[in-house]
């Protein structure tokens, strides 16, 4: 965001940010609506929320419950309950932590990877349908811009954004 000498952000940029905020809220609500239209439990009997654990284990490798809770911004008790269900269904297994034999790591099983890929395929078919009438160039542009937005969000925590707010800049 550009700012003037006194640290204030121009109104036009704030207006664009406001529109983006509106569109992001709308986007998140629509995603929640789409997810709620899919059964709370998948065809394999697993809570939809538990797939976030499976995603993390597949993409980031075996992890302790505490690391999963931190990465998923969830309570350890929630992660424990959901991961227990994944273990019972054979999608995740507990392994000894090589750094601390008293602790265990959760890891995706081959069946967990298969189920994850099947769910991913269903998601991709849905998204392809949503974007089917978009020109190919627009679909590529969307991916590029979402990547840039995600990277920007990862690099700028809300706390940093608060440090540059107009109120802070005025010494309030």
Q: Report yes or no on 4 lying in a domain.
A: no
Confidence (pLDDT) at 166 = 45
Return d(Cα 122, Cα 51) in angstroms, integer: 13
3 is a domain residue: no
56 domain-assigned: yes
The closest of 68, 66, 56, 115 to 89, measured between CA atoms, is 115
pLDDT digit string, tens, across residues 122-170:
889 999 999 999 999 999 999 999 999 999 988 987 764 444 444 444 3
CA distance 51 to 47: 7
When pLDDT is averaged across residues 115-119 and rounded to a whole number, the result is 88
What's the structural domain count of the chain? 1
pLDDT digits (tens, 9 = 90+) for 85-104: 899 999 999 999 888 878 89
- Residue 29 within any structural domain of the chain: no
Provide the domain limits for residue 154. 38-159
What is the pTM (predicted TM-score) of this model?
0.70
Q: Is residue 19 part of a domain?
A: no
Q: How far is CA 73 from CA 30, 78, 107, 128, in A?
A: 21, 10, 19, 29
Supply the CATH number for residue 65's domain: 1.10.10.10
Domain assignment of residue 97, yes or no? yes
| Dihedrals phi, psi of 43, to nearest 5 degrees | -65, -20
Cα 21 from Cα 15, distance rounded (Å): 10
Averaged confidence pLDDT in the chain: 84
pLDDT score at 40: 57
H-helix or E-strand containing 101? Answer: strand 100-108
- pLDDT, greater one: 60 or 157: 60
* Closest to 92 measured CA to CA, from 123, 52, 39, 122: 52
Q: How is residue 134 written in tokens?
A: 């978009």
Task: Report the pLDDT averaged over residues 66-75.
Answer: 91
Asked whether residue 113 is domain-assigned, the answer is: yes
Both structure tokens of 78: 């929630």
- With 70 as the cut, is the pLDDT of residue 5 above it? no
């Amino acid at each position: 965001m550009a700012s003037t000498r006194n640290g204030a952000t121009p109104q036009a940029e704030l207006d664009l940010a406001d529109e983006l905020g509106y569109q992001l809220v709308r986007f998140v609500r629509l995603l929640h609506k789409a997810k709620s239209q899919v059964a709370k439990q998948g065809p394999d009997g697993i809570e939809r929320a538990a797939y976030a654990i499976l995603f993390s284990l597949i993409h980031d490798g075996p992890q302790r419950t505490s690391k999963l809770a931190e990465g998923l911004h969830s309570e350890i008790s929630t992660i424990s309950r959901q991961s227990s269900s994944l273990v019972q269904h054979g999608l995740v297994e507990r392994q000894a932590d090589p750094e601390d034999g008293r602790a265990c790591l959760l890891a995706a099983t081959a069946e967990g990877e298969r189920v994850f890929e099947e769910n991913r395929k269903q998601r991709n078919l849905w998204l392809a349908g949503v974007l089917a009438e978009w020109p190919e160039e627009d679909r590529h542009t969307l991916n590029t811009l979402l990547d840039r937005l995600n990277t920007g969000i990862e690099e700028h925590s809300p706390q940093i954004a608060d440090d540059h707010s107009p109120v802070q800049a005025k010494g309030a």
